[in-house]
Amino acid sequence: AVGGAAVVMTEATAVLAEGRISPEDLGIWKDEHVEMLTRIVRFIESQGSVAGIQLAHAGRKASTWRPWATERDAIPIEHGGWQVVGPSPLAFSPSYPPVQALDADGIAAVIAGFEAAARRAFTAGFKVFEIHAAHGYLLHQFLSPLSNRRKDQYGGSLENRMRLTLEVAQAVRRVIPDSLVLFTRISATDWVEGGWDVKQSVELAKRLREVGVDLIDVSTGGNVAQVKIPVGPGYQVPFAREIRHDAGIATGAVGLITQADQADAIIARGDADVVLLAREELRDPYWPMHAATALGETMSWPSQYLRAAPPGTAPR
């Protein structure tokens, strides 16, 4: 929550056309996108919530079919696909598109794309901004030595692999007021020996804090195909706790957090500062109301639903 209000966030909003995961992705790479996004922001605010936006570039995981399509993975150029880019010419998997390594001009265009997208998002009225540097998308690809084999200032050492993410964060922070919140979503580990890991994530979080990032949204994985992840309730929470403690920055916990008491315990223990929900909200859009009831808290109910509110859960 920000200022006591829930944040409703658009996910994976492409900062450049070639940064879309699929052709149907939401975008903010041109000024014409601002008007419709402004309407969405106004509606969210009219319901008493705060509008947030996740700024993203899919890198080598772009130009794929939408998840529910019968086709899988790469869209051929002749069927509307496009050339994908990344730190190195390494495809995500054999079924994904071939990758063109970004040159200096391409990297500069990515940074400028994030900056321009943040400016448009501010114009549209968003109050929370999140840079997507997780799940094997472009910024994560630069961070991980498994996908970044560059020999220039953007590859090799941890300092060099962090450079693009830090430059993007600085560019975004420049165009949004200090009074507004900036998150960065990271994958704390690739779940593969020799890949990106939580120790490197702590160092990145420290540097992101220095350039004005307010919170690290801690997820994992997504950069290596067919990796085995020990999925279970709250399985990513320990990473949020370690980064919060060792980097001295607020964190958000995500991943198989489905129960009210589970979410409440994460905050109470100091494992994270916020809990972010996605799939559970898709399964149950009224999860916050059910959670408030389970925890004995009151919350605002839509006036049309007040007659259904359990006693004591809705202010009168």
Catalytic residues: 137
290: exposed, middle or buried (Cβ count in 10 Å: 0-12, 13-18, 19+): middle
Tally Cβ neighbours within 10 Å of residue 296.
Answer: 8
Closest to 207 (Cα-Cα) out of 149, 166, 174: 166
Round to whole Å and give the CA distance between 172 and 45: 23
Cβ-contact 119, 205 below 8 angstroms: no
DSSP 102-146: P-HHHHHHHHHHHHHHHHHHHHHT--EEEEEE-TTSHHHHHH-TT
Tokens of 80: 């509307």
Tokens of 151: 């020999």
